[in-house]
Amino acid sequence: MAQFARWTNLSETTYVLPSAVADYRLRIFTPGGEIPFAGHPTLGSAHAWLEAGGIPHSTCSCWSADLGLVTVRRASPA
């Protein structure tokens, strides 16, 4: 994962993986290495996961990272 992030040289590269304690596990890499949390990659990955058919266990999606458990809530359409 780190090697691919260095090769693409993108500011952040995310990987959505299975988790035993949450809806999914998110790993975030920069060209310099793995980071425990970043806001924009978190929201973008949650959106992509939902659009790809991810089904949260409750009204929000919960994912695990090195930081711990993080909850992302989807706003109701206006």
> How many Å apart are CA 9 and CA 67, to the nearest integer?
23
Q: Give me the sign of the Cα torsion angle 36, 39, 41, 42.
A: positive
Tell me the sheet residues that pair with 49. Answer: none
Q: Is-catalytic flag, 12?
A: yes
Active-site hit among 3, 8, 11, 12: 12
- Which residues are tagged catalytic? 12
